[in-house]
Amino acid sequence: MDTTLHDPLVGQVLDGRYRVDARIAVGGMATVYRAVDTRLDRVLALKVMHPTLAADASFVERFIREAKSVARLAHPNVVQVFDQGTDGPYVYLAMEYVAGCTLRDVLRERGALQPRAAFDILEPVLAALGAAHRAGFVHRDMKPENVLIGDDGRVKVADFGLVRSVDTVTNTTGAVLGTVSYLAPEQIENGTTDPRVDVYACGVMLYEMLTGDRPHQGDSPAIVLYKHLHEDVPPPSAAVPGLAYELDELVASATARTPDLRPYDAVALLAHAREVRGSLGADQLDAVPPQALTAEHLGAEDRTSVIPRALTMLRSLPVNEDEPDVLRTSRFESPPPLPRRRSARPPRARLWTIVAAVLLVFGVGAGVWYINSGQFTKVPPLVTKTEAQARERLETAGLETGQVKHAYSDTVKRGSVISSDPEVGERIRQNGSVALTVSDGPQTVRVPDVEGYRLDRARTVLKQEGLAPGMVTREFSEDVEAGFVISTDPDAGTTRRSGTAIALTVSKGSPVEVADVTGASLEDARAELEEAGLKVRVAAEQVTSEFDKGQVARQSLDPGSEAAEGDTVTLTLSKGPEMVEVPDVVGDNVDDAKAELEAAGFQVDEDRGLLGLFGDTVKKQSVKGGKTAPKGSTITLEIR
């Protein structure tokens, strides 16, 4: 049934501009329509907030504020926001319309994807999120429904900003079960949101693309939430044997339950994903997904097993027309009803020939199976499992635990398996041994002492020690030369995880007190500032001021302030004072005269003398009325 027939907005024109043509989708907070911008004659998507939310003024205010911010996020993989507005009870966003489908549609139709296709979708998603993270945005609700795949193959991320307007943990009722499946543990536990929650959600989506299913499932949202908090996302190869272990590690890195063990934002995860993709061969990238295994691979295994081979051969043996038809049927077919029993019986020799053939096939088939398969098994999924769990899995598979080595890892938590030799999924003889490499957690690095190093040299030393140069703050120092490091944060000698950013405080040298050169000639001002170690720049434009033409009217650094040696002071020259006509106030009351002169821009001074101590009339003014004088200059009034 076409539900759009019952939607009151379809056919209307919002804000006198957007003609609503059809309803596309309904979400927990808004309904999305296909619409036409009648002014620009272009098709776009119109997201209209549900009336219950639109009635909340604070929510609408945050929604509008975030929409304006996200509209400035220009990226080819982000659905662009064109406009925002209200029309009566409707609060809406006008956005780019992407003709195509969502990742959810693809997963629903195809199930698991080949790793190559999963990377083709994941990488542009991470590029979009990376741009948002570096611009200060967190999506907070990444899921397949918000990944749009255009008919032209372009991948775009939708709903930036909308969920950011909500300052509570995403609703966990059944209506948003799909959202529950992608929440990071810290979102569930305390509502914390930073770029790593988007990294977690992308890890869950990658698992779903590789396996066709979500990693955590349950009969209720509460069960799913509990699993996010207490269970690791399993390696994809546990559901799809044969997937490269590098894919397991990529998923494990992105979905680590401890946020600090995940890549710090989507840019870092994108770099990791590209590294993994580059390490895989064509056969690993094009591995057959599970739905193809169900249709083809499992059938192939049936045909190579002993019983199907033997019983299949029975079909090709010559049989007497009077023999029961059941002999023509394999064990995987339902035998037809036996025909009416006939008196004729097969010759004894023919019957023994059939029995011998069956026994021969069974014997040869079993021998071939034992030689080719019975002596071998596959290394079970071990990556990200604890050492105890890995030993248990190996024992269950009939394998021994070989040498156990330890290595640092920024992505695999301490005590869990980083890799195995042979690798997960490889063939190995029964009772063979598998070597394990177990994580010692992130490598810790001692912060080197770079005090007194030039900034470029200090950065090089930090990188050599496995640390990242961080933010640079500049301060005055009487003891450390300009351009050299004063201190680090954290301090030298402390230990930090490999890759940690180290903040540097760099000297600006001894402070220089800035002299007051306003009113001086340019030549004198330049000489005084340069003698103090400062550079001088002259502004192109001049301004009117109380100073004579050519004198310094302004300086960019305040007189008496501190500057670093080599800093630049910009001087603005005067083009002379503004000349103003002086009002004629002779004979006026003193108070009235002062008010008129001050209103004209002059300062006023009184000269009363002995005779004018008690007078209140202006007898004379220092500049006659009708003449001009510099604005701001002083006019002296003689009072009698």
DSSP 367-388: HHHIIIIITEEEPPP-TTSBHH
User: What is the average pLDDT across 183-188?
Assistant: 90
**Hey, which of 66-75, 370-379, 485-494 has the most confident mean pLDDT?**
485-494
User: What is the average pLDDT across 362-381?
Assistant: 55
Tell me the residue length of the chain.
640
Q: What is the pTM of this model?
A: 0.47
Rounded CA separation 506/477 (Å): 9
Whether residue 299 has pLDDT greater than 80: no
Q: Which is more confident, 556 or 412?
A: 556
C-alpha angle 262-263-269 in degrees, rounded to nearest 5? 125
Q: Which CATH class is domain 101-285?
A: mainly alpha
Cβ atoms of 560 and 549 within 8 Å: the answer is no
Question: For residue 390, which of 421, 442, 439, 436 has the smallest C-alpha distance?
Answer: 436
**Rg of the Cα atoms in the chain:** 41
User: What is the average pLDDT across 245-262?
Assistant: 92
For 513-539, how does the pLDDT look when each residue is reduced to its tens digit (9 = 90+)?
999 999 999 999 999 999 999 999 999
Whether residue 334 has pLDDT greater than 80: no
* Distances 495 to 52, 365, 416, 487, 534 between C-alpha atoms, Å: 52, 63, 23, 16, 41
Cβ atoms of 131 and 119 within 8 Å: the answer is no
Q: What is the reported pLDDT for 82?
A: 86
Rounded CA separation 205/183 (Å): 11
Helical residues (DSSP H) of 600-639, grouped into ranges = none
The 10 Å Cβ neighbour count of residue 184 is 27
Q: What is the reported pLDDT for 471?
A: 83
Residue 538 structure tokens:
């002259």
Q: Which is more confident, 342 or 624?
A: 624
Among 91-100, 243-252, 448-457, 495-504, which is the least confidently predicted range? 495-504
Q: What is the reported pLDDT for 290?
A: 59
Q: What is the reported pLDDT for 376?
A: 78
Instruction: Classify each residue of 447-467 as buried b or exposed e, where b means 16 or more C-beta atoms within 10 Å of its C-beta.
Output: bbebbebebeebbeebeeebb
CATH domain 511-573 topology: Trypsin Inhibitor V; Chain A (3.30.10)
Whether residue 357 has pLDDT greater than 90: no
Whether residue 1 has pLDDT greater than 80: no
Cβ atoms of 221 and 177 within 8 Å: the answer is yes
Q: Which CATH class is domain 3-96?
A: alpha beta
Residue 31 structure tokens:
């309904």
- Counting residues of the chain whose pLDDT is more than 90, the rounded percentage is 41
For 196-253, how does the pLDDT look when each residue is reduced to its tens digit (9 = 90+)?
999 999 999 999 999 999 999 888 888 888 899 999 999 999 899 889 989 999 999 9
The 10 Å Cβ neighbour count of residue 272 is 19
Which sequence positions are flagged as catalytic? 141
Mean pLDDT of the chain: 80
End-to-end CA distance of the chain: 100
User: What is the average pLDDT across 482-510?
Assistant: 88
Q: Which is more confident, 574 or 290?
A: 574
Q: Which run of H or E residues covers position 92? A: strand 90-96
Q: With cut-offs at 50, 70 and 90, classify the pLDDT of residue 328.
A: very low
Q: With cut-offs at 50, 70 and 90, classify the pLDDT of residue 332.
A: very low
The angle that helices 195-211 and 103-110 make with each other, rounded to 10 degrees, is: 20
Q: With cut-offs at 50, 70 and 90, classify the pLDDT of residue 354.
A: very low
Starting at the edge strand found earlier in the chain, the sheet holding 155-157 runs: 100-102, 147-150, 155-157
Cβ atoms of 453 and 406 within 8 Å: the answer is no
Assigned architecture for domain 444-507: 2-Layer Sandwich (3.30)
Q: With cut-offs at 50, 70 and 90, classify the pLDDT of residue 183.
A: very high
For 103-141, how does the pLDDT look when each residue is reduced to its tens digit (9 = 90+)?
999 999 889 999 999 999 999 999 999 988 888 888 888
Rounded CA separation 327/323 (Å): 8
Q: What is the reported pLDDT for 55?
A: 77
Phi, psi for 303 (deg, rounded to 5): -70, -25
Q: Which is more confident, 32 or 298?
A: 32
377-439 is classed CATH 3.40.630.30: no
Q: Which is more confident, 125 or 495?
A: 125
Q: With cut-offs at 50, 70 and 90, classify the pLDDT of residue 304.
A: very low
Which is it for strands 147-150 and 100-102: parallel, antiparallel or unpaired?
Answer: antiparallel
* Distances 104 to 65, 79, 143, 632, 639 between C-alpha atoms, Å: 29, 17, 8, 73, 92
Give ranges for CATH 3.30.200.20 in the chain: 3-96
Q: With cut-offs at 50, 70 and 90, classify the pLDDT of residue 426.
A: confident
Give ranges for CATH 3.30.10.20 in the chain: 377-439, 444-507, 511-573, 579-639
Q: With cut-offs at 50, 70 and 90, classify the pLDDT of residue 255.
A: very high
Q: What is the reported pLDDT for 631?
A: 87
User: What is the average pLDDT across 96-103?
Assistant: 90
Q: Which CATH class is domain 579-639?
A: alpha beta
